Structure 1
Amino acid sequence: MSFVRDKFSAKFFLFLAIAFILIHVPIIGNYVKIINTLIHETGHAIIALFGGKVETISLFMNSEGATISDQSTWMGSFFTSLAGYTFASFMAFLSFLLLRRKKEILLIDILLAFIFLNLIFWVRNPYGVFWLFSFACAFLFLLIKGSQGVRDYLLLLIAAILLVDSVQSTYEILFLSILQPQAAGDAANLAQLTGVLPAAFWGLFFFLQSLWFCFYGFKRGYYKVGI
């Protein structure tokens, strides 16, 4: 039994290593990282819809994104700002959970739903539209034309990218919240909304929750990857 777990663990870490290397490759890295950016911005948008509305979402070539929403209450603004990093970390965890439970089709449906929801309703900037359309076409082509093994490895790679980038992006926001708190994005917004809790607090919160989801994502992937 320990042999099986070691085999699973080795392949799990192999895909994490591949994902880590891939997201740091010039040009290609920024392109693949946008899958995490898409989920991050979608998290903002979903929460913004409760008591507010989403104006636009932009996805940029440098892998950054922006959601413009209209909130009428303090609570709406607070939870919308909180949602991006937490939703991205949760989706990384959920991806491995679905793979472990052999719910590959459900994971595919969720990813495609995010893509087409943004393409139809929110994303309007040229690069964002290009990314959504090109990724959807490539994703669908590999799923339709590729073998079962290709599909499983593709989904595993996407899950690994989500997990690695969710941790890396929260580490970056933690670092920025300490050195340049006014430029720390969601952490800066939350600091302004709460008044008493600084950006560094929210940067640390985002980083710790990503580690928590990473740990449980590992536990789910540990048993699935070798299948």
Structure 2
Amino acid sequence: MPHQDAHVIFFDLETTGFDKPIQPVQIGAIDSWGSEEYNAFILPDRRIHPLATKTNGFTTDRHMQRLYRNGEQLDTLDLEEGLNHFMDWLRSIGGNVILVAHKCHNYDGKVLLYNFKEFNIKYENVITGFSDSLIASRVLYPHLESRRLPDMMEELGIGWRESHDALQDAHDCRQVVRRMAAKNRIRFMNFVYNPQWYKTTSQQKTWTFNRPPPTAKGAQ
């Protein structure tokens, strides 16, 4: 499969949580070289579930006009503006983007596509595929009790960390994927495109909208 011109972007979402519709409150991303970063906080147009707040620290004021993390007010974009802003960044990278996340197919990718659909944001000419490091972890490390991102970091000798910050989690996903590929002697791009955990954008779109909507990330 020719993929020399693809741009691999690791990303993560922090979200409103446990009831639908799930919306992002932070989008973090980094390219495969670790040189280009994206980080934006997004003011949702619905309340953040208390269980999500307990996990990630995000809250809004009672009028849904300000976003806070652990009590600190954040500079935000509104939801539609934030989604378009992320797409503009992906275009600036050069398009032909492969998005990689831990639990991509069933959560981060689904949440992203549901929100793109809500605002009729076109993405098929920029995002060409989705790769899931959680599924890769299940295939390559079937003996592990947990394959959550912090536990995979520990398993791979990177060090245990649970940040609940989208940019930090994108960084950590990048480290996990690169370390998994190296330890299993798989070329990086072949790893990203492995059909056991890679979907084209068309396949991810079908997977997203022909199955139940995303639920909270939960156990992995």
TM-score bracket, normalised by the shorter chain, equals under 0.3
Q: TM-score when scaled to structure 1?
A: 0.25
Greater helix share, structure number: 1
Greater strand share, structure number: 2
Q: Whose relative contact order is higher, 1 or 2, with alpha carbons under 8 Å and at least 6 apart?
A: 1
Q: TM-score when scaled to structure 2?
A: 0.26
